[in-house]
């Protein structure tokens, strides 16, 4: 999750020898006057103090409004399967900060992160860094120390001015472009697309995962002479039932290879998984199709349509904008009425388009339970109810001060064939996962 405290609200001294990871994270929250401060100058200055030359590793940068985590996880697992050492950097985290930095599929330890934070602190001198920028540089330190062959980097916000973009990629994936983070990125897809396309480099190959890229992305592709792979042109996704074959997935077809790769329904967005496969076949052309299919079939990602309980089914999803909500609604809808009622537990942050999210989910939800989030920028349950009341088709069944309370009400009133869907924020999902780890009887 992003930092909960208000950066700059208090002075925290530099952690001394033997400081814990939590002490360091508290310090990171305090050293810059704002949580988000887009720009590369400060990060680049500290990077040059940390590294005398650019990393020798192959760098894959992934941007997009939604679906980034799925693409990163797929690329990471496929690279590891080839025997290539791989580091993956993602954000935010669900339960513990260590999730953000993985080396060969293993979360960084507290000790590794503290050691990297200490190095970044020495290198930054009087340069201020945000929580995200500091953590990004620390991840670079750990990957460099480990000598991994591949760095798979998820953009935190936008692309052009995101800290990850201080490194030149060898391959780029843009998963989707839609409306989110309006105050930082703009309020339309063309402006946001320009920001996402800022991770492109002249002549460097790229994959766009969605069917309809904004003109601003295509303009940057043309201007920089980027070889772009995109669905509907260089590759196609065909529903499995078109071939009277396994239902519940899609086939990825690439004419250049003259073959098909099956992508099963894993609960992760198929367009992101397809983009990862297209990318890996460029990066590792010797990787065999059965291996690719096996890795993709076994891929899971915490918080992304994650099933945590059955009878009733309880699913959590971190979707927090209308684009993600439309995907979630479509997935619930395709399962049909036979699955029982859809009972929603929804909690969100104040700077999100909660009206748009509720409107996207309303056609498939039978019962709503609204919850408050007691974090920075979190909406109280009453604020949430006031904002989305007009977007709902059904009356609100309950309003609760916490996700845990709302979850108990939703599960308690659900039948064995109903589906309880908890969504709206990383904070929402994190709280639900903690509560579901307890005895809810």
- Here the CATH number for the domain that contains residue 351 is 3.90.190.20
Query: Does residue 271 sit in the same domain as residue 335?
Result: no
Q: Is residue 9 part of a domain?
A: no
Query: Does residue 70 sit in the same domain as residue 145?
Result: yes
**Structural tokens at position 106:** 């293993």
User: Is the peptide bond between 312 and the residue preceding it cis, with omega within 30 degrees of 0?
Assistant: yes
Please count the helices (runs of H) and the strands (runs of E) in the chain: 15, 17
Looking at residue 10, what is its pLDDT? Answer: 60
Q: How many domains are contained in the chain?
A: 2
Looking at residue 336, what is its pLDDT? Answer: 59
Over the stretch 212-236, which tens digit does the pLDDT of each residue have? 999 999 999 999 999 999 999 999 9
Query: Does residue 201 sit in the same domain as residue 260?
Result: yes
Looking at residue 12, what is its pLDDT? Answer: 86
Query: Does residue 185 sit in the same domain as residue 285?
Result: yes
Query: Does residue 274 sit in the same domain as residue 354?
Result: no
Over the stretch 67-100, which tens digit does the pLDDT of each residue have? 999 999 999 999 999 999 999 999 999 999 999 9
Looking at residue 346, what is its pLDDT? Answer: 98
Q: Is residue 2 part of a domain?
A: no
Query: Angle at which helices 289-297 and 68-81 pack, to 10 degrees?
Result: 130
Task: Please tell me the pTM assigned to this model.
Answer: 0.93
Domain limit, last residue, from 279, 297, 315:
297
Query: Does residue 377 sit in the same domain as residue 320?
Result: yes
Query: Does residue 292 sit in the same domain as residue 311?
Result: no
- Here the CATH number for the domain that contains residue 204 is 3.40.1190.10
Query: Does residue 279 sit in the same domain as residue 320?
Result: no
Query: Does residue 283 sit in the same domain as residue 310?
Result: no
**Other Cβ atoms within 10 Å of 111 Cβ, number:** 9
Full domain range(s) for residue 427? 306-436
Burial status of residue 298 (CB atoms within 10 A of its CB: 0-12, 13-18, 19 or more): exposed
Q: Is residue 323 part of a domain?
A: yes
**Structural tokens at position 356:** 């748009």
Tell me how far CA of residue 87 lies from CA of 148, 153, 405, in angstroms.
6, 8, 38
List, for the chain, all residue ranges whose pLDDT scores fall below the cut of 50.
Answer: 5-9
Q: Is residue 6 part of a domain?
A: no
Domain limit, last residue, from 297, 319, 340:
297
Domain limit, last residue, from 297, 324, 345:
297
Q: Is residue 8 part of a domain?
A: no
Looking at residue 440, what is its pLDDT? Answer: 60
């Amino acid at each position: 999750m992003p930092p909960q405290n208000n950066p700059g609200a208090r002075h925290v001294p530099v952690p001394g020898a033997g400081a814990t990871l939590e002490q360091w994270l508290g310090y990171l929250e305090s050293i810059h006057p704002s949580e988000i401060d887009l720009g590369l100058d400060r990060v680049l200055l500290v990077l040059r103090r940390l590294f005398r030359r650019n990393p020798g590793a192959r760098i894959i940068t992934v941007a997009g409004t939604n679906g980034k985590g799925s693409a990163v996880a797929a690329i990471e697992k496929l690279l590891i399967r080839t025997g290539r050492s791989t580091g993956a950097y993602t954000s935010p985290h669900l339960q513990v900060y260590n999730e953000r930095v993985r080396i060969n599929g293993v979360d960084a330890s507290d000790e590794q992160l503290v050691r990297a934070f200490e190095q970044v602190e020495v290198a930054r001198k009087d340069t201020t860094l945000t929580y995200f920028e500091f953590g990004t540089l620390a991840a670079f330190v750990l990957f460099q120390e480990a000598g991994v062959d591949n760095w798979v980097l998820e953009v935190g916000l936008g692309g052009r001015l995101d800290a990850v973009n201080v490194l030149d990629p060898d391959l780029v994936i843009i998963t989707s472009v839609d409306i989110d983070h309006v105050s930082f990125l703009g309020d339309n897809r063309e402006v946001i697309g320009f920001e996402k396309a800022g991770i492109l480099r002249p002549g460097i190959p790229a994959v766009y995962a969605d069917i309809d890229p904004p003109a601003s992305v295509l303009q940057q592709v043309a201007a920089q002479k980027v070889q772009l792979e995109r669905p509907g042109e260089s590759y196609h996704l065909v529903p499995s039932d078109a071939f009277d074959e396994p239902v519940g997935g899609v086939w990825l077809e690439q004419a250049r290879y003259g073959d098909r790769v099956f992508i099963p329904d894993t609960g992760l967005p198929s367009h992101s998984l397809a983009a990862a496969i297209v990318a890996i076949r460029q990066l590792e052309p010797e990787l065999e199709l059965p291996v690719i299919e096996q890795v993709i079939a076994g891929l899971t990602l915490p918080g992304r349509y994650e099933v945590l309980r059955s009878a009733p089914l309880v699913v959590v999803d971190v979707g927090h904008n209308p684009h993600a909500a439309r995907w979630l609604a479509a997935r619930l809808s395709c399962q049909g009425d036979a699955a029982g009622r859809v009972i929603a537990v929804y909690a969100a942050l104040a700077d999100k388009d909660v009206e748009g999210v509720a409107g996207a989910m309303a056609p498939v939800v039978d019962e709503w339970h609204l919850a408050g989030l007691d974090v920075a920028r979190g909406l109280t349950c009453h604020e949430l109810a006031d904002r989305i009341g007009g977007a709902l088709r059904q009356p609100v069944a309950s309003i609760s001060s916490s996700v845990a309370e709302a979850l108990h009400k939703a599960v308690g009133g659900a039948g064995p064939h109903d589906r309880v869907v908890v969504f709206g924020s990383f904070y929402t999902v994190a709280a639900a996962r903690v509560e579901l780890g307890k005895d809810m009887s």
